[in-house]
Structure 1
Amino acid sequence: MTVPALSHAITARVSRIPGVVAVSLGGSHARGNARSDSDLDLGLAYDAGRPLDLTALNTICRELDDSGTASATPPGGWGPWVDGGAWLTVGGQRVDFIYRELGRVGKSVKDALAGRVTLHAQPGHPHGIHGHHYAAELAVGVLLHDPSGRVERLRTRLGGYPEPLAESLERHYGWQPNFWLDGAEKGLGRGDLHHAQGCVYQAVMAMVQTLCARERAWLLNEKGAVALAAAQPGAPPGFGKRVNAALAALDVVALRVLASEM
C-alpha cells in the first residue's frame, strides 16, 4: 500500500489547525484497494474538550478546493456516527475530511475488546454503524500525524482483532440469514416487494458479517462489503458473483443455498 502524496501535502496544512490532534488516512486507500475514482478519506481526530477551529478549517477548505467553495460542518453535522467534516475536490481528486472525537474512539476500542455488538442508525449507511466501527477504522487506517501519540496508544491497546468481538459478531449474525430470508419470502408472497428487498439485503449483510468475523477481517462499512467477504478463505465458492446474481433476481432460494454452505 502506497500513501498518496496528496494526503501528506494536505496533512501538513490541516495538522496546524487548532484542535486537530491527529490525522489519518482511511477507506480504500488505507486498505490498499483504491480505484482511480476512489475518494481520499482523511480523518481529523479532535478532543471534545478542545473543539476544532472551524474558521481556520473552512479557510483551508476554500484554499484547497478546486472550486474554492468547500466548507466544513460543525461536529455532529453529518449525524451521530459519521460526525462531520467536509467534501473537497483537490486537483481533480475527491477528498473527504471526516471528524473523529477521541473520547468516542476510546469507547469504541473498549466495546471491541469487550465484544459488545451494538448497531446504530446513520444516514448514508443502510446497514447502520456498529459501536466498534471507530476501532475498526483505527485498526485499518494509516496514521499521518499523531505528535502526542494518543491515537497510536489507542491502537496499541486494541492490538489485533479481539477474539471476544469475533465470537460476539458470529453469535449475533450467524443465525440471521435464514430468519431474514423467511421474511423475504413472506413479503414476496403478499406482493410487498419493498419489504422483501430489505429482508434480502439484511440476509446478505448477516452472511458478510459472519464471514468477516470468522476470518478476523475488519469490516468498515457496506461499500465493498460483499467483495471483502468473498475474499475470505472460508467464503463459499463464487460468493460475490452468486450474491450479486441473487440480489439482481431477488432469488431467495439461491441465498438460502449460500447460507447453508456457510
Structure 2
Amino acid sequence: MAGALVYVPGVVGVVLGGSRARGTHRPDSDWDLGLYYRGEPDVAALAALAEDFTGEPVPVAGPGGWGPWVDGGAWLRVDGTPVDWILRDLDRVGAVWADCRQGRYEVGIQPGHPLGFWSPCYPGELAVGRLLSDTEGELAALQEQTRTYPEPLRKALVEGAWEADFSVAAAAKSATAGDTLHVALCLSRAFGVLAQSLLAAHRVWCLNEKGALAAAARLPNAPQDFAARVDALLGGAGRTPDQLAATVRSAAGLVAEVRARLADETRT
C-alpha cells in the first residue's frame, strides 16, 4: 500500500505510526499510515486508490478536512483490517520542527484531542515511526534529526507545568459553587499538562493524550502510584461543594509533588 501511495501526485512519503510502529499493538489495533505530502495531494487519486484496496468507495478528506492539525485522510477497511490514512504537510512538519528546536510549541483546538493538539506531535510521529516509502530521502533525514530531543523544547514543556497550578486554582473557585463540569475539566487539563511535562523532562515524545498518563507514571522520577492517584481523583471528584473542594485540595498536593520532581529532574 505504501508503495502505491507514493505514486499519488503530491505524496512524497509514507510512515507507519501508532502502536504498530512502537510494537505495542494488539491484534485488533489499527494500522496508521502517515501520508506526507507537499503542495496539494491529489485527493481524487487517493480516493481511487482507496477504492482499489477496499473494493468500495471511501470518502477521503483533503487538507484541513479533519481539522487544523490532524489535517485529513481516510478510514479504510482492507480484508477486515482497519487502516487509517492521515495526511501530513511535510513543509508544515518541518516548520514545527524548527520551532521545537527553538523551544516554541503550540496547543491547538482539534476534534478528537480533548487536551488539544500539541504541535511537538509532528516531529514526535517521525521520531517513533517506521519509514515505509520515502521517494527523495527527505523523511529519513528529518527522522534522524528528531531522534534527538531538543533541549529548548524540553525546557519549555517542563516550564509549561505552571498551567497545572493555574488550572487547579480555577477548579478551587468552581468547587465552592458545586460546578462539577468545570472542576473535572480543570483537573483533567492539569494532569494532562503534567503528563506532557514529565515526558518532556525525560526526553520522551508525547503524541497524544491516549496512554500519556500511563507512560508518564512509568518514568523513573514519577510520583509513587501517580496514575492510580490521578484515576482516583478524576473518577471520584464528587458532586457537592465539600466533596469537590476535598478533591481539589488533593489534586493541588499532587501537582506540587510533580512540580518538585520536575525541578529535580531538570537540574540533571
Find the aligned partners of 2:106 and 2:49 in 1 and give their Cα distance: 36
Q: 1:255 aligns with which of 226, 251, 258?
A: 251
2 CA distance for matches of 1:210 and 1:194? 24
Q: Deviations over 1:208-238 (max 9, x none)?
A: 0111111111000111111111121111112
Q: Quick check: 1:53 aligned with 2:42? A: yes
Quick check: 2:127–2:144 contact (8 Å CA) kept in 1? no
Q: CA deviation at 1:45?
A: 0.7
Give the superposition deviation at 1:159: 4.2
State the Cα deviation string for residues 130-159 of structure 1 (Å, max 9, x = none): 232211111111111102001112223334
2:5 pairs with 14, 17, 24, which one?
14
What's the CA shift for 1:79?
1.0
Report SS of the residue matched to 2:149: coil
One-letter identity of the residue aligned with 1:136: G
Partner of 2:206: 219
Unaligned runs of 5+ in 1: 1-9
CA contact (8 A) 1:111 1:132 kept: no
Partner residue in 2 for 1:3: none
| Structure-1 residue corresponding to 2:52 | 63
Structure 2 residue runs of 5 or longer lacking an equivalent are: 238-246, 259-268
Aligned equivalent of 2:137: 149
Residue 12 of structure 1, CA deviation: 2.5
Moved more, 203-212 or 153-162: 153-162
Which portions of structure 1, spanning 4 or more consecutive aligned residues, are displaced by more than 4 angstroms? none
Give the whole-Å Cα distance in 2 for the aligned partners of 1:117 and 1:74: 25
Distance 2:254 2:81 in 1: 38
Check if 1:40 corresponds to 2:28.
no
Aligned alpha-carbon RMSD (Å): 1.6
- Rounded Cα–Cα distance in structure 2 between residues aligned with 1:65 and 1:261: 51
Listed as ranges, the matches of 1:99-118 within 5 Å are 99-118=87-106
Percent sequence identity over aligned pairs? 43
**Contact 2:124–2:146 (8 Å) recurs in 1:** no
Q: How many aligned residue pairs are there?
A: 249
Counterpart check, 1:200 vs 2:194: no
Structural mapping, 1:51-200, within 5 Å = 51-65=40-54, 68-173=56-161, 175-200=162-187
Aligned-partner Cα distance in 1 for 2:26–2:229: 23
The whole-number CA distance in structure 2 between the counterparts of 1:237 and 1:113 is: 32
